[in-house]
Structure 1
Amino acid sequence: MSKRQSSFIFSLSLVISGTIFIQMALYIVSMLAGWNAKFNIVEVCHNWLKAIGMSSLEYALDALVIYTLLFSIWRIGSQFFYVSRLDKQFEQYKDNLLTEHMNQTHSSGKEDFLIVSNPAPIAITMGFVKPKIVISTGLINLLTDDELNAVISHEIYHKDNRDPLKIFLLSLCASTIGYIPILKWFNHQYRIIQEVLADEFAITKQETSINLGSALLKMLKVGKQEKMPFAYASFADTSVNYRIEYILNPLEDIKWQVPLKKAFLSLAVFILICAIFIYALA
């Protein structure tokens, strides 16, 4: 797996989703402002439904557009709400001395790390604008120094790559535009690739996979941490089987198979939308 594959999946997902979201947004503007959006593909769908005597489906189309946009707004709002609430909770359990030491050691004094007093082993990267790495005292007590450094390197890759934001954008697209099923596969595949790339970064930095592998096994023995209701990158709850396979044999590339049925169905839907748009411009 490579950075190129990750970038391709992310970019293609945004292109597909962005095309549909923009058209829906233009349609909403045209309804509210009375603007003539004759180049809008949803408006063309309206006219086409009228032409074949199925004008009653206009209301279903309106409902779909409004539902998609409102659901998107709700997902975005809930993300900021949960992140803000969890930030306050983390601040209550913040270990000031360990947080300062971690920031001085691994980020030259920048506030990139937050150490919280919690017996559960936690290592996540959260935040959209300024990603922050959250590590628990339970994790520090569980791992050796070398293992902890491997986990920190893994999370630093997620932070520098702004993975919490990218993961949220892909999950938003996949959940709100379910009629393009390949988007869900893109979302899942992106997470796998990014976890493997983060592991590769940590292994390269330490020049060994022993510390990363032992840290992962220790956290798995303790048990998976409870999933949180917002987008974040976690060390031990994503793509474990793929990662173990990579750690055991880093020279062998993990092959991924594109789900052909979902791909063809998604392509057909997207081509139909593009065809209607081209017809509107003609």
Structure 2
Amino acid sequence: MWAARSKLLFAVGLGIPLLVFLQMSMYLLYKMFGWDMPFNLLWLCNHWMSRMGWTWVGHVLVGLAIITFAGTGWLLVHRLMKTRAAMKRLWRIEDKGWSRSLQTKYEHVGQTGFIVVAEKAPLAFTIGLWRPRIVLSTGLLNMLDNDEEEAVVYHELHHLWHRDPLKTTLLTVFASMMPYLPVLKHVAKHYGIVREILADNEAIRRTGNVAGIGSALLKLIRACPESWRVRDMSVQSSFADVSVNVRISRLLDPEQEVALTLPRFAVLVSATAILMLSVLFVWSIG
């Protein structure tokens, strides 16, 4: 069920922006090279508005397309640069011996990549777009017992195996650049919650019990590492940074059904925006 929800949310959060990008690309090609694409909705809108004498609308559409493309590219590059800067900082304070020890301990599960940093604050997150790594702190490892450590590691391995930092970054960037479709913001938020629940499920399945992941999560919440803000400078999925209340509630009662519903207003506004554009496009035919 949760895997199906994850796939659906990602498909919606990625599919809508890609459709918009496709239309904008076709429109820009028409404006720049004169390519006649009668099925392009933005082209039809511009054509109809020009007939009505509203030529300024064409400039607005061009500006919207350019801002959307440039803004999306800039945000992605910005996230990538911050991630690289964060990785360099992490490499400088890495405890290489402990990293190798964890790598050896968990090499039986397949693809892994650990960076253990010499930091008193308890940290656990997966960072990186193309080559994600699991970052754990010495403060965290000293705080957890063996069962809790395994639960945290398997939780983060789930994020690493499924490239969650990359996927969540794409959804949040698209949502930021298309505020006129507010449903994307809520889709990105719900997707993050679902991914955390699936990572918890991975830890429970691998360890065979819920105690390890539950106690580890409670310990990290109590520790509250306010001084370390890697999440502000990079692309990462943090163990104790998303949907904590939902996760604790579900860990206490695994049979509990967690309802994730999109706000009606956001869905209505997004659907209205798409519908209005579509109507304008259709009117411009002929």
Asked whether the two chains share a fold, i.e. TM above 0.5, the reply is yes
Q: Match of 1:3?
A: 3
- How far apart in 2 are the matches of 1:18 and 1:277? 18
| Structure 1: runs of 5 or more not aligned | none
How far apart are 1:212 and its partner, in Å? 1.1
The letter for the 2-side match of 1:247 is L
- How far apart in 1 are the matches of 2:3 and 2:282? 34
SS of the aligned residue for 1:114 comes to strand
Contact 2:124 2:140 in 1 (8 A): yes
Deviations 1:96-131 (A, max 9, x none): 111111111113486511111111111111122222
Deviations 1:14-33 (A, max 9, x none): 11110001111222333333
How far apart are 1:224 and its partner, in Å? 4.5
The letter for the 1-side match of 2:269 is L
TM-score (norm 2): 0.91
Q: Match of 1:171?
A: 172
- How far apart in 2 are the matches of 1:261 and 1:220? 33
Does structure 1 residue 70 correspond to structure 2 residue 74? no
Q: Match of 2:155?
A: 154
- How far apart in 1 are the matches of 2:173 and 2:285? 29
How far apart are 1:176 and its partner, in Å? 0.8
Flag the structure with more relative contact order, 1 or 2, with Cα contacts below 8 A and sequence separation at least 6.
Answer: 2
Deviations 1:254-277 (A, max 9, x none): 012221121122122223444556
Contact 1:158 1:198 in 2 (8 A): yes
The percent identity for this pair of structures is 31
Contact 2:49 2:55 in 1 (8 A): yes
The letter for the 2-side match of 1:40 is N
Q: Match of 1:113?
A: 114
Does structure 1 residue 13 correspond to structure 2 residue 17? no
SS of the aligned residue for 2:232 comes to coil
Contact 1:68 1:177 in 2 (8 A): yes
Q: Match of 2:89?
A: 89
The letter for the 2-side match of 1:246 is R
TM-score (norm 1): 0.92
Q: Match of 1:253?
A: 257
- How far apart in 2 are the matches of 1:275 and 1:30? 20
Q: Match of 1:262?
A: 266
| 1:128-277 equivalent positions in 2, closer than 5 A | 128-225=129-226, 226=229, 227-275=231-279
Deviations 1:210-263 (A, max 9, x none): 111111111111115523233311101110000010110011110122211211
SS of the aligned residue for 1:188 comes to helix
SS of the aligned residue for 1:135 comes to strand
Alpha carbons of structure 1 residues 14 and 111: separation in structure 2 relative to 1, 3 Å: closer
| Structure 2: runs of 5 or more not aligned | none
Contact 2:172 2:188 in 1 (8 A): yes
Cα RMSD, aligned residues only: 2.0
**Greater CA deviation, 103-112 or 255-264?**
103-112
Q: Match of 1:41?
A: 41
Deviations 1:44-85 (A, max 9, x none): 121122233322232222221111111011011111111111
Contact 2:118 2:139 in 1 (8 A): yes
